[in-house]
């Protein structure tokens, strides 16, 4: 009988109106506050996670655009592409290959050789 009585009193929520109900209300308020904090932190975490995913996708897109632009630049820098564009201006590549001009610097005298002049 006491088992049925305790279930019945639980269903009627007598623990909320008894003499020591203040402790129960404080505990319920604590649990409610804890639940609200958990929900708020979870929402904040999800928001940051979505932002990270969005930025990661944006980085991938920009990297892809960078690679495309770089390959296009490499095509534009090729000698054949430049030659074709210069032909429109009637500038043609030289048939004679360029020659390298080397200028030799006179050898500097060492400190000791400079001192020998004074002897």
Helix, strand or coil for residue 105? Answer: coil
Predicted confidence (pLDDT) at residue 69 exceeds the cutoff of 80: yes
Q: Which domain holds residue 23?
A: 2-117
| C-alpha–C-alpha distance, residues 69 and 30, integer Å | 58
Question: Which burial class, exposed, middle or buried, applies to 15 when counting CB atoms under 10 A from its CB (0-12, 13-18, 19+)?
Answer: middle
Q: How many domains does the chain have?
A: 1
The model's pLDDT over 22-63, given as tens digits with 9 standing for 90+, comes to 888 888 899 999 999 999 999 999 999 999 999 999 999 999
For CA atoms 34, 38, 41, 47, the dihedral sign is: negative
At 78-111, the pLDDT tens digits run: 888 888 888 888 888 888 888 899 888 888 877 7
């Amino acid at each position: 009988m006491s088992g049925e009585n305790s279930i019945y009193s639980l269903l009627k929520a007598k623990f909320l109106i008894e003499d020591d109900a203040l402790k129960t209300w404080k505990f319920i308020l604590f649990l409610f506050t804890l639940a609200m904090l958990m929900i708020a932190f979870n929402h904040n975490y999800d928001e940051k996670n979505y932002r990270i995913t969005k930025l990661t996708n944006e980085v991938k897109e920009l990297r892809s655009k960078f690679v495309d632009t770089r390959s296009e630049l490499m095509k534009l820098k090729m000698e054949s592409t430049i030659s074709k564009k210069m032909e429109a201006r009637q500038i043609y590549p030289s048939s004679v290959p360029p020659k390298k001009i080397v200028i030799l610097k006179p050898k500097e005298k060492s400190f000791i050789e400079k001192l020998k002049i004074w002897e």
